[in-house]
Amino acid sequence: MSNDDCLFCKIANKQITSNIVYEDEQIIAFKDIAPHMPVHIVLIPKLHIHGLNEITNESSVIVAHIVMMTKVLAIKFNIDTSGYRLISNCGHDAGQSVQHLHFHLLGGALMTNHFA
C-alpha cells in the first residue's frame, strides 16, 4: 500500500532516486539528502504508515524489523561502538516533515545535545 503523493513511497517504489544503503521486502534505508551528522540514514517501511500514531499490531512487526536493522547499519557504517541515535518524529510540532513513518539513524560524531 502506498500513497501516490508521498515522497517516501516514491523512493520505496523507485520513482525517485536515492542513495540506498539497505533494502529488503519490508523496508528501505537510504542516505539523507541533507545530513545532520557524518552518518545520517533514513529507514522507512515500504508500507505507507503515516506516523508513529498509526502503527498497528500488524505493522509493529515492520517497526521491530527497522529497529533490528539499525544495529546492522550501525556496524556497516562503523558507529556501533562509538554510539548512535535513532529518532522518529511524530507530528508537525516534533518536526515530522514527511508524513510517512521514518527513522533517522545518526552517528559519526559527538552529539552535543543530550536528552534525558
**CATH assignment of the domain containing 35:** 3.30.428.10
Count of the separate structural domains present in the chain: 1
* Residue 100 CB neighbours (<10 A): 21
Q: Is residue 113 assigned to a domain?
A: no
Residues 83 and 107: beta-carbon distance below 8 Å? yes
Longest CA–CA span in the chain (Å) reads 39
Q: According to the model, what pLDDT value does residue 86 have? A: 97
| Contact present, 105 and 39 (Cβ < 8 Å) | yes
Cα separation values, 93 from 1, 63, 82, 97, 113, Å = 27, 22, 30, 10, 18
Contact criterion met (CB below 8 Å) for 89 and 36: no
Domain ranges, residue 50:
7-107
Residue 1: inside a domain: no
User: Is residue 28 assigned to a domain?
Assistant: yes
| Whole-structure pTM value | 0.93
2 in a domain, yes or no?
no
Helix (H), strand (E) at residue 39: strand 39-45
Query: Is the residue at 80 inside a domain?
Result: yes
Which positions of the chain have pLDDT values less than 50?
A: none
Residue at grid coordinates 545530513: 35
Cα–Cα–Cα angle for 73, 75, 78, rounded to 5 degrees: 110
Whether residue 31 is contained in a domain is answered as yes
pLDDT value of position 1: 52
Active site residue 102: yes
pLDDT for 114 equals: 72
The answer to whether residue 116 is domain-embedded is no
Active-site annotation holder among 36, 65, 102, 114: 102
Report the alpha-carbon distance of residue 86 to residue 43 in Å, rounded: 10
Residue 114 lies in a domain: no
pLDDT score, position 34:
95
